[in-house]
Amino acid sequence: MACCAFAVYLLSQLLWPLRWLRDRLLGAPAVTASASVAWSPAAASTPVARKWRWKPALLLLLAAEVFGLGVAATAASVSAPAQPSVEFLDALHGSICSAVKGSLS
Amino acid sequence: MTVQDIGFGTAAAQPLPAQKGPVTAARQRRTWTIYAALCVAGLLPTLLGASASLQAAGIGLWLPGAGFLSVGGWAAVLFPLTLALFVFSLVAWFWAGMVLGPVIVWLGSAALAGAMAGDTVWAGGPYAAAFATAGIGYAFHRRNVRLRDAALAKIAPRAAFLDASLAEVRAQAADIPDPATREMTPTDLAALRYLLDRSLQPVTEWGGFDIIDQFQPAALRYQLNHMGFALGIAQTAYVPNFHGYMGQAQRNLIDKYLLRKVWGYWVYESCWGHLNFTNWDPAARDNIMLTGWFGMHVGQYMLASGDRRYLEPGSLTFRLNAKTAYVHDFNTIIGSVKTNYDTAEFGLFACEPNWIYPICNHYGLASLAVQDAVTGSDNIRRYAPGWFKMLNQEFTDEAGSIIGLRSQHTGMPIPFPTGEVAYAAFQNCFAPGSAQQQWAIARREIAPAIHPDANGKMRISLPGKGLDTGNYKSGHTGAFASILVAAKEFGDTYVAEAAQNSLDSDCGLEIRDGVRRYTGGSNDTNTYAILGQLMQAGDFRRSFTQGPHAPSRTGPVLEAASYPAVLVAQAISDGDNLRLVLYPGAGDGRQTLGLERLAPGRAYTVTGATTDALTASPDGKASLDVMLSGRTAVTVTPA
């Protein structure tokens, strides 16, 4: 439901402390030689793009976050039916998320 | 007023006094007024006893997430999370011009707090929110005081060394190399091959480039610009009379730049930064990180090569898709820079929407200097005085240093790691006096970090792990390379040697298959290191404002040579002859060279080739065979 961008920001922010903890507990990953710099014409001519190895984990976390937000929003609307929260969240979703998506498409 | 008289590095060298420019002050007043209005508006629902939802949402206007404090209970946990999220949204704003980010987080969290509020709010919420707001405000105030004190503490030492350092810089910078005898060393050629390997691949291929994001310093556009700068300096200083693959490499980089893959970021930044969903012309509003840099790049190529193709209308067209293209040429790209300067309230204008980087504006003003050199325009005389006035007025801190980054909308300065080292070489393109002062400060402040290594070689030791802006990994390659470039530009051999030694010892130097590289750095910082390695005093300025040694511009040229079989270390002319120094790049052996721009039908004597005479064809062409083995000097002289 509401605020896809908000969820993405929140999730990304939550990853920072985890990264900090990883570096403190396990040590920062060793600096490796740059693959792009090591490239030569004799090598394969494919672009050297960064490999997002944590992408599946990120997608799982993102899905969990969106699910959690949905549960929280539903719970809020059920527990306080007199409040205009459902309509408000609908309007919020329509005006912000749709606009953001529209600008990106 | 001449270019040399512009800026603060001319007469009695003194750091600037502390000041806040009128535009900055007005913009900051506006920001605080809006914030005060938000606070008042946010307090009204509480004072008027409005619904709990409105009260919570109102408190949320004081500080991002503060509304959750009014909601009370476990919702209060969302307050610190939202603050952290707000910081992240500021980073997104900074990173990609996403103006909507902080607005969405702040107002969105207020709205969410309103939606989550029950029938009542926690009575302590407004007090807790006020306390948090005051605490954060105080922390920022303390930080600003510390930064101002640190800047003020620099004034006395700078004043003490500046005159003496400036005198040394002036003497060193005056020792420029003889353009008629310059020749790349085998080490230089090994570094140049790093660039040629990448630039001579097909335009749509990206082997050897870092492809991460297209918004910030690792973007392809910066890699392309810096590669072009380095090739342009090599062309200007060492091989002005070699076109062939040297020219092809530079044109390939320009062609790559026009691909949507490189400039397409502007589509997104226009949408979420300018709220412009229809016109994504990258050379229109803002975006000096493209127009200024690319303008320098293309202009330098034309100046170095004499090739004027990019003056033709449509020669630099940015194609979005089959239906839409933004038609430009060198003059319209620079025209965009000038149009933005004409209307810039701060005197300097933005890269990403809202963010004004003085370093990119140095590229911007340098691009105007290049246009002056290429077309004979009068930009620097017209624009530089006002530009410097605003730089000094709006973008200078208490120590006289240039502020790295300022928000156009709020007037707030943001810490950004750019110092005198970075500005000096670029300023040398349009204000040598001021540039020398920048370097006079930088070299003395770098000096404590220079010391002999275990072998007695001077080196630089920098604190921390460093940051390679070309791939966002740790490392000092970029910092050493920047110091090298500036030191070389001002003829400071002591600092330059220390920077070069540090690069060679700390940054993973590897020479493989005749190509020199630093495997610990990114492609972009490697490129900048090569730029520095190739330079001698004044090369940066000359390549953007003068072009090659005048006699070489009309003399014969080496037009055809195969790469990497024939490496060209020197190609120079006195206007009539052609002097080449060649090395084999793929083993010793016989190679054929194609010459052009000879006097039609004229006889020439030849040394260093398989023949000792040639006669130019009616269109001024000839070919020549040489046996390459080590350093091979070839001369072609009118008989």
Q: Which helix (H) or strand (E) holds B187?
A: helix B186-199
CA-based nearest distance B564→chain A, Å: 11
Q: Measured between CB atoms, which of A3, A42, A103 is closest to B108? A: A3
pLDDT in tens, B377-418: 999 999 999 999 999 999 988 888 898 888 888 998 876 666
**Which amino acid, B358?**
P
B571, B234 Cβ separation under 8 angstroms: no
Q: What are phi and psi of B595, to 5 degrees?
A: -110, 145
Position A15 scores a pLDDT of 56
Inter-chain residue contact A36 with B209, CB threshold 8 Å: yes
Q: Which two tokens stand for residue B280?
A: 């994504």
Residue A21 forms part of a structural domain: no
Q: Measured between CB atoms, which of B53, B105, B471 is closest to A34? A: B471
Whether residues B134 and B152 fall in one domain: no
- Name the CA radius of gyration of chain B, rounded: 28
Q: Does B215 touch chain A (CB under 8 A)?
A: no
Q: Which of B52-56, B392-396, B582-586 has the highest mean pLDDT?
A: B582-586
Domain end residue (candidates: B513, B545, B577): B545
> Rounded to whole angstroms, how far apart are CA atoms B173 and B408?
36
Whether residues B525 and B577 fall in one domain: no
Q: List, as one string, the DSSP characters of B416-482.
A: ----HHHHHHHHTTT-HHHHHHHHHHHHHHHGGGEEE-TTS-EEE--SSS--BTTTTB--SHHHHHH
B561, B239 Cβ separation under 8 angstroms: no
Residue B515, strand partner residues: B512
B400, B16 Cβ separation under 8 angstroms: yes
Residue A103 forms part of a structural domain: yes
CA distances from B372 to B208, B236, B380, B381 (A): 34, 17, 7, 10
Residues of A with CB under 8 A from a CB of B: 2-3, 5-6, 9-10, 12-14, 16, 28, 31, 33-34, 36-50, 76, 79-80, 82-85, 88-89, 92, 96, 100, 103-104
- Residues of B within 8 A of A43 (CB-CB) are 207
Q: Measured between CB atoms, which of A76, A85, A96 is closest to B104? A: A96
**DSSP one-letter code for B355:** E
Average pLDDT for B166-171: 96
**Count of structural domains, chain A:** 1
Inter-chain residue contact A36 with B210, CB threshold 8 Å: yes
**Which amino acid, B15?**
P
- Residues of B within 8 A of A19 (CB-CB) are none
Position B335 scores a pLDDT of 97
Residue A15 forms part of a structural domain: no
- Residues of A within 8 A of B88 (CB-CB) are 9, 12-13, 16
Position B355 scores a pLDDT of 87
Q: In this model, does residue A47 exceed pLDDT 80?
A: no
Residue B3 forms part of a structural domain: no
Residue B9 pLDDT grade (very low, low, confident, very high; cuts 50, 70, 90): very low
Residue in this structure with the two tokens 């919420």, named with its chain if needed = B125
- Sign of the C-alpha dihedral computed for residues B242, B248, B249 and B251 taken in this order: positive
Residue A90 forms part of a structural domain: yes
In whole angstroms, what separates CA B282 from the centre of its chain? 17
Q: Measured between CB atoms, which of A31, A42, A100 is closest to B520? A: A31
**Which amino acid, B296?**
M
Whether residues B149 and B130 fall in one domain: no
CA-based nearest distance B171→chain A, Å: 37
The interaxial angle of helices B100-116 and B78-96, nearest 10 deg, is 160
Average model confidence (pLDDT) across chain B: 92
Residue B616 sits in a domain of what CATH number? 2.60.40
Average pLDDT for B323-327: 96
- Residues of A within 8 A of B84 (CB-CB) are 13, 16
Nearest to B545 by CA among B370, B309, B388, B392: B370
Pairing of strands B355-356, B405-407: antiparallel
Whether residues B564 and B601 fall in one domain: yes
Torsion of CA B512, B513, B517, B521, to 10 degrees: -70
- Residues of B within 8 A of A13 (CB-CB) are 81, 84-85, 87-88
Inter-chain residue contact A92 with B474, CB threshold 8 Å: no
Inter-chain residue contact B519 with A34, CB threshold 8 Å: yes
Task: Give the ipTM.
Answer: 0.81
CA-based nearest distance B589→chain A, Å: 21
Nearest to B432 by CA among B321, B545, B309: B545
> Rounded to whole angstroms, how far apart are CA atoms B121 and B71?
5
Residue A66 forms part of a structural domain: yes
Position A16 scores a pLDDT of 60
CA-based nearest distance A62→chain B, Å: 15
Interface A–B counts its CB contacts (< 8 A) at 132
Residue in this structure with the two tokens 């006395």, named with its chain if needed = B156
Whether residues B231 and B364 fall in one domain: yes
**Which amino acid, A40?**
S
B361, B418 Cβ separation under 8 angstroms: no
pLDDT in tens, B233-291: 999 999 999 999 999 999 999 999 999 999 999 999 999 888 899 999 999 999 999 99
Q: Which two tokens stand for residue B19?
A: 């000041």
**Count of structural domains, chain B:** 3
pLDDT in tens, B534-583: 999 999 999 999 999 999 999 999 999 999 999 999 999 999 999 999 99
Average pLDDT for B209-221: 92
- Residues of B within 8 A of A10 (CB-CB) are 81, 85
CB atoms within 10 A of CB B117: 29
- Residues of A within 8 A of B522 (CB-CB) are 34, 36-37
Whether residues B510 and B626 fall in one domain: no
Inter-chain residue contact A33 with B508, CB threshold 8 Å: yes
Q: What share of chain A is helix, strand, coil (3-state, %, to 5)?
A: 70, 0, 30
Residue B628, strand partner residues: B589
Whether residues B117 and B136 fall in one domain: yes
> Rounded to whole angstroms, how far apart are CA atoms B596 and B620?
6
Residue A17 forms part of a structural domain: no
Inter-chain residue contact A38 with B87, CB threshold 8 Å: no
Torsion of CA B329, B386, B342, B271, to 10 degrees: 80
Residue A73 forms part of a structural domain: yes
> Rounded to whole angstroms, how far apart are CA atoms A30 and B508?
14
In whole angstroms, what separates CA B465 from the centre of its chain? 22
Which positions 16-75 of B are in contact with A (Cβ < 8 Å)? 53
- Strand, helix or coil at B508? coil
pLDDT in tens, B433-488: 999 999 999 999 999 999 999 999 999 999 888 888 898 888 999 999 999 999 99
Inter-chain residue contact B84 with A37, CB threshold 8 Å: no
CB atoms within 10 A of CB B216: 17
Q: Does B272 touch chain A (CB under 8 A)?
A: yes
Q: In this model, does residue A97 exceed pLDDT 80?
A: no
Residue B102 forms part of a structural domain: yes
CA-based nearest distance A21→chain B, Å: 17
Inter-chain residue contact A40 with B515, CB threshold 8 Å: yes
Residue A30 pLDDT grade (very low, low, confident, very high; cuts 50, 70, 90): low
Whether residues B68 and B167 fall in one domain: no
Residue B266 forms part of a structural domain: yes
Residue A60 forms part of a structural domain: yes
Average pLDDT for B146-175: 92
Domain region containing B150: 144-545
Position B467 scores a pLDDT of 85
Residue A104 pLDDT grade (very low, low, confident, very high; cuts 50, 70, 90): very low
Whether residues B69 and B212 fall in one domain: no
Q: Does B210 touch chain A (CB under 8 A)?
A: yes
pLDDT in tens, B254-263: 999 999 999 9
Optimal mutation site among B198, B210, B524, interface A, most CBs of chain A within 10 A: B210
- Residues of B within 8 A of A42 (CB-CB) are 513
Whether residues B625 and B516 fall in one domain: no
- Residues of A within 8 A of B105 (CB-CB) are 6, 9
Inter-chain residue contact B85 with A39, CB threshold 8 Å: no
- Name the CA radius of gyration of chain A, rounded: 21
Whether residues B127 and B198 fall in one domain: no
Q: Which of A31-35, A45-49, B211-215 has the highest mean pLDDT?
A: B211-215
Q: What are phi and psi of B626, to 5 degrees?
A: -130, 150
**DSSP one-letter code for A54:** T
Residue B8 forms part of a structural domain: no
Nearest to B71 by CA among B93, B92, B96, B54: B54
> Rounded to whole angstroms, how far apart are CA atoms B603 and B598?
9
Closest residue of chain B to A2, computed from CA coordinates? B112
Position B403 scores a pLDDT of 87
Q: List, as one string, the DSSP characters of B592-619.
A: EEEEESPPTT-EEEEESSS-SEEE--TT
Inter-chain residue contact B115 with A89, CB threshold 8 Å: yes
Domain region containing A92: 54-78+86-105
pTM: 0.83
Ordered alpha helix ranges (H), B48-123:
52-59, 67-71, 78-96, 100-116
Inter-chain residue contact B207 with A80, CB threshold 8 Å: no
Show Cβ contacts of residue B626 under 8 Å, excluding neighbours closer than 6 positions: B582, B590, B591, B593, B608, B609, B610, B632, B634
* Cα-Cα end-to-end distance for chain A: 19
- Comparing B9 with B614, the larger pLDDT belongs to B614
pLDDT in tens, A61-76: 656 655 654 555 454 4
CA-based nearest distance B520→chain A, Å: 5
CA distances from B392 to A40, B18, B348, B458 (A): 45, 10, 11, 35
